[in-house]
Amino acid sequence: MSTIAFLNIGMHGHINPTLPVVAELVRRGHTVTYHTSPAFRQEIEATGATVRLYPGGELPLPDPPTPVTLLESLATTSLRLLPSVLGDLRRDGPDLIVHDSSCPWGAVAARELGVPAASSFTTFAFDRQVPSPTRASWDLLAEARGQLGSVRGYVRARGELRRRFDTRGVPLVDLLNIRQGLNLVYTSRAFQPAVEHFDESYRFVGPSIGARPADPSFDADRFRGPVLYASLGTVFGADPGLLRTFATALAPLGGTVIVSTGQTDPDTLGPLPAHVVPLRFVPQLEVLDRAALFITHGGMNSVNEALHAGVPMLVVPQGADQPMTAARVVELGAGLSIRAGDVDKGSVRALARRLLHEPEFRKAANALKAAQHEAGGYRRAADELERYMHAAGSVRRPFTADPAQGG
């Protein structure tokens, strides 16, 4: 039995894919600790892991979350957390550290302790062909000129990190792309752009989708088909007007239209037809299993789940990595995309009709569905972590990974 420590940033999109992996590792007999902020404690403890809380409470996102402000936030957060994190890790004695690709304190802690580390990529894998938002570029430089306070904050924090800790292996600038000897990427090789440029350290394990507690209040069987589903996720605030446009555009096309409003009060959408159902939160996997169409913001978790179910998408990117994800969906023929500023009832309805009635979209989505399932998911991720520990000589249990699984 081995001890494995997970370290992550405080965002659902980065934590959720790791939860089935953690639960599987616990099931196999490993001891797992998970370093996180209080908001995620309950769902992580449900996997069987022991939670180690970061000092100081939640890890707020910068406002606005631009590449430059993210760099400053990640560097200053690393400085604040590392003394406490290192203390916890020294007491726990992990055989492996698994950290998010945007979690520099995880990479630094592994260096300080001399422990093997793996990186967890919950978006795409990044390189020169697929540049991350924080890769050194003319665009980043142009943005930096308008945010000099954040640049100065980053330089100060990064200099202090280098003076106090071993930061070798942590990119000077590109803190959203911290790589290790094993890099788990939670999508399939078929969906990853420029996949041929990535070496064997990148393991494309597919969507990490595990069992989720049933919601007894949600009876998906009562919805008449075709079911059309719209959700803009939880990170960016959903504009009620935008959600209402989706609802009214889809209403003539579906037997049931489900609109997930997230933090937006469903009542702010105003009166809607009886077969349009606005709800704050829905069990997304259950809905996607029945959906003929999905309007999404293009967050990687939502896109992976839609592809896992073979559902064509209309992607309305809101920010972050979502335009890149939308472009890939369109490139592979599994959906269409529209800018939020171009959304109106007519444009959404026209695009939705195409997705519903032109069979090539469903065919492409089904091809990606097969690739997503074949990638292996959370069990494959657990296999890869065990294999990596075995190669590093730090695994203390019989090795159980399936050697037939490829990259």
How does pLDDT run across 357-404, given as a tens digit for each residue?
999 999 999 999 999 999 999 999 999 999 999 988 754 443 333 333
Predicted local distance difference test score (pLDDT) of residue 361: 98
Predicted local distance difference test score (pLDDT) of residue 293: 96
Q: What is the average pLDDT value for the chain, to the nearest integer?
A: 90
What mean pLDDT is predicted for residues 267-272?
87
Asked if 302 and 308 count as a contact pair (C-beta separation under 8 A), the reply is no
Count of Cβ atoms closer than 10 Å to residue 45 Cβ: 12
Closest CA to 271 of 251, 255, 254: 251
Which residues are within 8 A (CB) of 301 and not within 5 positions of it... i.e. 6 or more apart? 12, 13, 16, 17, 122
Q: What is the DSSP letter of 266?
A: G
Q: Is residue 401 helix, strand or coil?
A: coil
20 vs 24, 97, 186, 192, 308, CA distance in Å? 6, 17, 12, 21, 15
User: Would you give the distance in Å from CA 368 to the centre of its chain?
Assistant: 18
Q: Is residue 344 helix, strand or coil?
A: coil
- Does pLDDT of 301 surpass 80? yes
354 vs 314, 337, 347, 358, CA distance in Å? 10, 12, 11, 5
Give dist(CA 321, CA 235) in Å, integer.
12
Residue 373, Cβ density class (10 Å: 0-12 exposed, 13-18 middle, ≥19 buried): middle
68 vs 79, 140, 145, 194, 325, CA distance in Å? 17, 7, 10, 26, 21
Predicted local distance difference test score (pLDDT) of residue 397: 42
pLDDT per residue over 120-140, tens digit each? 999 999 998 899 888 888 888
Predicted local distance difference test score (pLDDT) of residue 142: 87
Predicted local distance difference test score (pLDDT) of residue 25: 97
Look up tokens 């370290």; give the residue.
7
Domains delineated in the chain: 3-206+376-392 (3.40.50.2000), 220-372 (3.40.50.2000)
Asked if 14 and 203 count as a contact pair (C-beta separation under 8 A), the reply is no
- Does pLDDT of 49 surpass 80? yes
What mean pLDDT is predicted for residues 161-185?
94
- Does pLDDT of 300 surpass 80? yes
